[in-house]
Amino acid sequence: MPTADAEFLRAALIGYQEKLKEINDRIAELRARVGNSAPVTAPGAAAPAAPQRTLSAAARKRIAAAQRKRWAAVRKAKAAAAKPKPAVVKPAKVAVRAKAVAKPAVKQLPAKKAPKAVRRAPAKKAAAPQAAAVGTVPPAPTAGTE
């Protein structure tokens, strides 16, 4: 039974395609009478390709010059945005800066360094006896050895 349904559907499809062809023909006749001579294409069909237009050499030069001009403007705007803005001096700091400018800066020389002390060799200690008694008092310093 499925084959009978498929055959019936195929026959219906062929009939509808014939009716669509007749309708498209009538539409084309009506458009011709109205003055619109655009060809009728079936839905989903590709439209005919338009002929390719060629530009003259002068037109290409004008287009290229206009493009260069546009890009130059873009580069100029980009460079202007990249420049650092000048520092704005706040009013409170103006007076301080004016005083600093009014006074000439005095160059301070580095202070002279004191001469290095002469290193003396460490004094030789007298040989102390190793068997010194624990708890003995060391000798008192003399007046000239301070």
pLDDT score recorded for residue 66: 98
Distance of CA 13 to the CA centre of its chain: 61
98-146 per-position pLDDT tens digit = 666 656 556 666 667 766 666 666 666 665 555 555 666 666 667 665 5
**pLDDT digits 0-9 by tens, 9-27:** 999 999 999 999 999 999 9
Domain boundaries, the chain: 9-40
- Tokens matching residue 15: 């009939």
Q: Give the chain as a DSSP string.
A: -HHHHHHHHHHHHHHHHHHHHHHHHHHHHHHHHHT--PPP--TTSPPPPPPPP---HHHHHHHHHHHHHHHHHHHHHHHHHHSPPPPPPPHHHHHHHHHHHHSPPPPPPPPPPPPPPPP-PPPPPPPPPTTPPTTPPPPPPPGGG-
User: What pLDDT score was predicted for residue 49?
Assistant: 78
Q: Supply the pTM of this predicted model.
A: 0.27
Rg from Cα positions in the chain: 55
Per-chain mean pLDDT for the chain:
76
